[in-house]
Amino acid sequence: MQGRVEWTGGTTMDGINAAGQRIAMDWESGPSPMQLTLQMVGACSLVDVVVGLKERAFTKAWVEMDSTRAESSPRRFTTMTMVYHVQGDVPQKLVERVVAKSHEKYCSVSNSLDPTITINWRVELHPESEG
């Protein structure tokens, strides 16, 4: 995997992958690199959830995230809290098992982070009628 980060002036930069696809970043008004890191943990794990539930009837899935960071430099993450939401007819235990496996084994992003970061998570199911 290759990539490049290019400063585009002021407080902005673009992340560019080998295929030339870009993601814009702004370290002052966001998304900042740390915000993107948190979102990418959520995105990576959400992929695992969606793939893990592919045989089930659900229409929406999302993850809400919160985090704490160290007070002094380096201001690394110290905790991440993730709330997984699935709308549809899926068993709670199944979603919990898929999320647990994501963080234990499959999510490359969270498993690439400092292992001292505490990642807490929970699952909330929503019936179709909420949509």
Kindly report, residue by residue over 28-79, the tens digit of the pLDDT. 998 888 999 999 999 999 999 999 999 899 999 999 999 999 999 999 999 9
Write the single-letter amino acid at 124.
E
Q: pLDDT tens for residues 3-17? A: 999 999 999 999 999
The two structure tokens encoding residue 94? 């199944």
CA distance 131 to 119: 28
CA distance 44 to 49: 9
The answer, yes or no, to whether residue 130 has pLDDT greater than 90, is: no
The pLDDT, as a whole number, for residue 131 is 57
Ramachandran sector of residue 79 (left: φ over 0; alpha: ψ -120 to 50; beta: rest): beta
Domain 32-130 has what CATH class?
alpha beta
CATH architecture of 1-30: Single Sheet (2.20)
Q: pLDDT tens for residues 98-123? A: 999 999 999 999 999 999 999 999 99
CA distance 37 to 51: 21
For residue 103, count other CB atoms closer than 10 A to its CB. 19
CA distance 92 to 73: 39
CA distance 126 to 86: 6
Q: Enumerate the domain spans of the chain.
A: 1-30, 32-130
pTM: 0.89
